């Protein structure tokens, strides 16, 4: 099968959409398919090459002149690669794929990663639409996508080609960590507020925030006003966040919106006790509370209470560590790739 994935870029920057696509492309190539990726490029091109995935340079910047260039360049890519399937992970790629559909026999699969964005409506153009959780599928169905066209494939990271061997790191005291883009919707404000609640009682606790984003400066200002600012650490983007998760005691994802939360599977694989908000696809990633504690979103008090429950009882913390590590055989990149290939095959014979 000839499979062409398309996204805006392949930068190694913690973007969950890109990470899922890279895992899919590499794993599908390992399974014997001819796979290519079209994007503006990035550091993952080397990883793609090592896994026998062809990369085509395609700049999809949303400016009239550049979009026109992308239109003609994409036509050349299709003519050269002759895909059976085009798998679009972002809006622009979905639109380009649909524009050429009348002239070619390929089928379009669109992948809805961030359904809370208005641009997710564009993903309706796919012949099949993949949702990263049941919560996302329900949302897309309410937007007019017929259920027969929708497929739910939960993300997985176990066995990812992206992972690398990195030196172990040491974190101070009892370490609480989040790995997230520095956006308001990721709940960083509430996490810092929650830390202020229990940090006085537990002087050995330290908060580590890994990630970059447009709201980072504001979060740093908030942390600088905390009485416990010396124990709040902003580490920026890390190429091997799993190393930090393995060294941590508690992983927290305090998102206001979260279609699935790929990082939660990485935290489970790292053996962290997990606290996360009960929104969108997060419960599905945590087996509806079996593999991690679920709390209401935008509630620093409830978030602090859950973390305190872990801090006060090491047995409870260890129990959640063990629960997080169970059932991970389902969350392999191989399973995700095979489930996706089944959707392709059904489309091609329909």
Using one digit for the tens of pLDDT, what is the confidence trace for 212-248? 999 999 999 999 999 999 999 999 999 999 999 999 9
**What domains sit in the chain, N to C, each tagged with a CATH number?**
2-156+332-349 (3.40.50.2000), 174-330 (3.40.50.2000)
Residue 65 has pLDDT above 70, yes or no: no
Please tell me which residue, 188 or 63, carries the higher pLDDT value.
Answer: 188
**CA dist., res. 136 & res. 197, Å (int):** 33
Q: What is the pLDDT of residue 119?
A: 75
Band (pLDDT 50/70/90 cuts) for residue 64 is low
Tens of pLDDT, residue by residue over 161-202, are 999 888 889 999 999 999 999 999 999 999 999 999 999 999
**How many Å from the N-terminal Cα to the C-terminal Cα in the chain?**
15
Tens of pLDDT, residue by residue over 334-343, are 999 999 999 9
Tens of pLDDT, residue by residue over 294-324, are 999 999 999 999 999 999 999 999 999 999 9
């Amino acid at each position: 099968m000839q499979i062409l994935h398309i996204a805006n870029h392949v930068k190694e920057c913690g973007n969950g959409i890109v990470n899922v696509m890279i895992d899919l492309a590499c794993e599908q190539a390992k399974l014997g398919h001819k796979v290519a990726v079209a994007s503006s490029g990035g550091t993952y091109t080397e990883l793609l090459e090592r896994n026998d995935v062809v990369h085509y340079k395609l700049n999809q910047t949303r400016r009239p002149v550049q979009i026109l260039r992308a239109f003609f360049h994409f036509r050349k890519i299709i003519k050269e690669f002759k895909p059976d399937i085009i798998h679009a992970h972002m809006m622009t790629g979905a639109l380009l794929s649909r524009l050429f559909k009348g002239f070619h026999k390929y089928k379009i699969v669109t992948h809805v990663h961030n359904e809370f964005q208005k641009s997710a409506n564009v993903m309706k153009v796919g012949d099949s639409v993949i949702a990263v959780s049941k919560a996302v599928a329900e949302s897309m169905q309410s937007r007019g996508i017929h259920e027969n066209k929708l497929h739910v494939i939960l993300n997985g990271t176990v066995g990812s080609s992206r992972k690398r061997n990195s030196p172990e790191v040491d974190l101070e005291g009892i370490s609480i960590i989040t790995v997230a883009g520095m956006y308001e919707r990721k709940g960083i404000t509430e996490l810092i507020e929650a830390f202020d609640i229990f940090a006085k009682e537990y002087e050995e606790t330290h908060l580590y925030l890994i990630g970059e984003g447009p709201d980072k400066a504001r979060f740093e200002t908030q942390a600088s006003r905390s009485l416990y600012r010396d124990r709040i650490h902003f580490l920026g983007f890390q190429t091997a966040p799993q190393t930090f998760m393995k060294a941590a005691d508690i992983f927290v994802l305090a998102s206001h919106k979260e279609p699935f939360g790929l990082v939660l599977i990485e935290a489970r694989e790292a053996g962290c006790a997990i606290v996360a908000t009960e929104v969108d696809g997060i419960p599905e990633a945590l087996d509806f509370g079996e593999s991690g504690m679920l709390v209401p979103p935008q509630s620093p008090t409830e978030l602090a209470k859950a973390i305190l429950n872990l801090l006060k009882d090491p047995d409870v913390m260890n129990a959640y560590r063990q629960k997080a590590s169970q059932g991970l055989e389902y969350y392999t990149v191989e399973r995700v790739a095979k489930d996706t290939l089944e959707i392709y095959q059904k489309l091609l014979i329909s």
